[in-house]
Amino acid sequence: MGAHAFLSPPQHCDAYAALAGSPLPEIFGVDAGWNMPVVRHEGVLGAHSDFPGVDHFVITCHLGGARVRRTDNPRFSTAAERGAISMQSPGNGCSVRSEDGRPVKYAHFYCRQELFDEVLGALGAAPRTPLKDFFGCRNLGCDQEMSHYLARAGAHADPPTALEMDSRANLIALAIARFSLGAPSGSPLPSIRPMDRRRVAAAVALIEERLPVAPTLSQLATHVGLSAFHFSRSFKAATGETPMAYAARRQAERARDMITLSRLPLAEVALRAGYSSQSHMTRRLRALLGATPAQLRGRGPNAVAGSAIKSPE
């Protein structure tokens, strides 16, 4: 579970009862303990779309359909269109309306103040530095990460790990914080010193010990005495790959070795390697190794040395 996970559905989700009735839209990541739960929704935003302030950040991505306007504050004069991103800070409510009474498709990403505090520290700002609300903005620098996040959130057949989702959440929060503070999206972060060898070894040892179930980002960071955001950056500076990429690579390598060096049924290999099913393992090995389990088994032991691992990032 992430260090800043929600233990129950975020307060903002109470609004779906008025917007959607039953059944309510699916909220991804609460039960899995992600630091940034997410929900997709489609509906007409009318007089019932006056949202009270809540105790967490609400980041909205406009996915399509009608343009949307915020009607409670003349400062937000720009309409949100497909690809636009908006944010409400804790305690700030808003009123929004679909243009022409047509439905709009959107996604909400939720996160706690503590996640932004880690990012603010990396930017050299003090914790709790106020982040300004914005509406219908573009070019924040996290469009691709948000798209990946949404795609992975709904991947029931190939479920993401908390390590993967929390790593992406950090990058989304970083881009949002930069934009809200008025910092250029390409502005460099303060330089970091790569982790010393003991910390790298400790993080790697914990991943190896916990596989096939990878530790969470917060568990790894706590284990070496760093914040999750600082740990992610430091691990990559020291090893050349993210913790997410390292864990995915080692899981794939373990599965490959069992496939090529044993005669275990592929369904049992998938179970032992930590994949949810044989088809899940097939998808991940095809993505990372460029070969299916059946192809790897056909190559025999030569596949152990011959298959190149692709980065999952």
18 and 153 fall within a common domain: yes
Fill in the DSSP letter of residue 53.
P
- How many domains does the chain contain in total? 3
- Is residue 4 situated within a structural domain? no
**Phi and psi, residue 25, nearest 5°:** -65, 155
Structure tokens at 188: 């460099």
Give 185's pLDDT tier (boundaries 50, 70, 90).
low
The DSSP result for 21-37, as a single string, is -SSPPPEESTTTT-SS-
161 and 108 fall within a common domain: yes
> Tell me: the pLDDT tens digits for 73-131?
888 999 999 999 999 999 999 999 999 888 999 999 999 999 999 999 888 889 899 99
- Is residue 188 situated within a structural domain? no
179 in helix, strand or coil? Answer: helix
231 and 250 fall within a common domain: no
CATH of the domain at 252: 1.10.10.60
CATH of the domain at 168: 2.60.120.280
Q: What is the model's pLDDT at position 258?
A: 96
- pLDDT at residue 68 greater than cutoff 60: yes
- Is residue 3 situated within a structural domain? no
80 in helix, strand or coil? Answer: strand
132 and 270 fall within a common domain: no
Q: What is the model's pLDDT at position 308?
A: 58
**Phi and psi, residue 68, nearest 5°:** -125, 140
**53-67, 86-100, 166-180, 290-304: least confidently modelled range:** 290-304
Matching residue, tokens 């050299």: 124
Q: What is the model's pLDDT at position 158?
A: 86
- Is residue 232 situated within a structural domain? yes
142 and 64 fall within a common domain: yes
Q: What is the mean pLDDT of the chain?
A: 89
- Is residue 311 situated within a structural domain? no
CA distance 108 to 40: 7
207 and 268 fall within a common domain: no
Going by their DSSP bridges, the two strands 57-65 and 85-88 should be labelled as antiparallel
Residue 100: domain span: 11-181
- Is residue 107 situated within a structural domain? yes
Q: What is the model's pLDDT at position 312?
A: 58
Q: Percent of the chain, pLDDT > 90?
A: 69
Q: How many CB atoms lie within 10 A of CB 66?
A: 20
The DSSP result for 206-228, as a single string, is HHHHHTTSPPPHHHHHHHHTS-H
- Is residue 227 situated within a structural domain? yes
105 and 157 fall within a common domain: yes
205 and 176 fall within a common domain: no
89 and 141 fall within a common domain: yes
161 and 54 fall within a common domain: yes
List, in sequence order, every beta strand (DSSP E) within the chain: 27-28, 38-43, 50-51, 57-65, 68-70, 85-88, 94-98, 104-111, 134-137
266 and 154 fall within a common domain: no
pTM of the model: 0.88
CA distance 16 to 214: 33
221 and 284 fall within a common domain: no
Q: Which residues pair with 137 in a beta bridge?
A: 85
- Is residue 5 situated within a structural domain? no
> Tell me: the pLDDT tens digits for 202-257?
999 999 999 998 899 999 999 999 999 999 989 998 999 999 999 999 999 999 99
